[in-house]
Amino acid sequence: MKTAVIVFPGSNCDRDMYEAIQCGLGVEVEYVWHAETSLAGFDAIMIPGGFSYGDYLRTGAIARFSNIMPAIVQAANEGKPVLGVCNGFQILLEAGLLPGALIRNKNLKFMCRTVDLEVVNPHTMFSSLYEKGEVIHLPIAHGEGNYYCDEATLAKLHAENRIVFNYQNNPNGSVADIAGIINEKGNVLGMMPHPERAVDALLGNVSGLRLFQSILKHWRDSVATVTA
């Protein structure tokens, strides 16, 4: 599996994501600068956290118009796994690949801590190695992580089982305790907590490792199906 880690001016979790893929999974991974226009040859796309374009206007609002974005949309439309974490989640929302918006935390402060998440839907290409109802622990680091959507969108997310992770003790005010959602096709995941910062026992937390292992498992299963 060849994985792209997209880098925007202001990205600061790109190295974390790169190391999570390379060391955690042992698969090929490359940085892709935002000015590129193609993602040909890549099997999975990772959009890391940070402060793309300094978070001017709105978080992710300028990155949404980067040269690389049409290629990300194309990859999503082709069914390739696309993961957006923190600022990456914000970019996916701005690009319309996921519904809703992210607004300021309810306490209007930047938060940096480890939080408890409930695995709501383990039947996705991102969560298949977790158990339903399992509680995992991932770091958060955001000032605008308060997920919002209207009632109709929320009802659709529930009806289509598109909420993958919920906060157990909601830190930021997100509607329905939402921490991560997928698109209708199930191949685009956006989440505020950082799984890439929880993949090594040396750091005291491996709760995020199975998310990346789930992506790899899905890819291997897909390849095996095609070649069978």
Q: Is 218 assigned a catalytic role?
A: no
Rounded CA separation 93/179 (Å): 14
Pick the closest to residue 145 from 85, 97, 186, 70 (CA basis): 85
Distance (Å, whole) CA 203 – CA 196: 11
Catalytic residue among 13, 86, 142, 149: 86
Alpha-carbon distance 100 to 227, whole Å?
38
142 is catalytic: no
Active-site annotation holder among 94, 144, 149, 196:
196
Q: Which two tokens stand for residue 32?
A: 């892709």
- Residue 188's DSSP bridge partners are 82
Cβ count within 10 A of residue 200: 15
Q: Which of 13, 94, 194, 218 is catalytic?
A: 194
Catalytic, 13? Answer no
Distances (CA, A) of 178 to 62, 68, 132, 163, 184: 24, 28, 15, 7, 16
* Phi-psi group of 100: left, alpha or beta (phi > 0 → left; psi -120 to 50 → alpha; rest → beta): left
The sign of the dihedral angle between the CA atoms of 62, 177, 6, 45 is: negative
Q: Which residues are known to be catalytic? A: 86, 194, 196
